[in-house]
Amino acid sequence: AQSVAQPEDQVNVAEGNPLTVKCTYSVSGNPYLFWYVQYPNRGLQFLLKYITGDNLVKGSYGFEAEFNKSQTSFHLKKPSALVSDSALYFCAVRDKNYGQNFVFGPGTRLSVLP
C-alpha cells in the first residue's frame, strides 16, 4: 500500500531564511511525487512534481524539491522564505499500480515570520 508521511505538523522560519518541508513516502512501484499548497480560503495549488529524470525539480514561486530514492524522500525547499509563503503544504504520491488517485500526506503548516 502507498503512504506519505510529513513528520512536522508545523514549520516556523524567519523571512529571508531557507525553508525545508519534509516528505517521505512508501510505494511498491516507481513513485510519482507532487507538492501542493493551500493558502487560506483557497483550493490546493500545484507547485511541482517529480516523474523521472533529474532528481532536483523546480516549481512555482521559487520552490524546488529533491527526490532521494534511497531515503524515499521528496523534501520541498526554498532558498529564501517570504511571509507570503505561509500556508499549508501537502505532499502526494501516485503509483501506477494503484490507479490515478493521489495519496496525500497530512500536511505541514508553514509560518514565515517577518
Partner 1 sequence: EAGVTQFPSHSVIEKGQTVTLRCDPISGHDNLYWYRRVMGKEIKFLLHFVKESKQDESGMPNNRFLAERTGGTYSTLKVQPAELEDSGVYFCASSQKLAGVTDTQYFGPGTRLTVL
Cα separation, 9 vs 95, in Å, equals 25
- Nearer to partner 1 by Cβ, of 2 and 81: the residue is 2
Cα Rg of the chain, angstroms: 14
Cα separation, 103 vs 110, in Å, equals 21
CB of 43 to partner 1, least distance (A): 4
Cell numbers given for 67: 527526490
**Contacts with partner 1, 94-113, as mask; x by CB under 8 A:** xxx--xxxxxxxxx------
Stretch that binds partner 1, among 17-25, 39-47, 68-76, 77-85 (CB under 8 A): 39-47
CB of 51 to partner 1, least distance (A): 5
Cα separation, 47 vs 29, in Å, equals 23
Choose which of 13, 65, 90, 108 interacts with partner 1 (CB under 8 A).
90
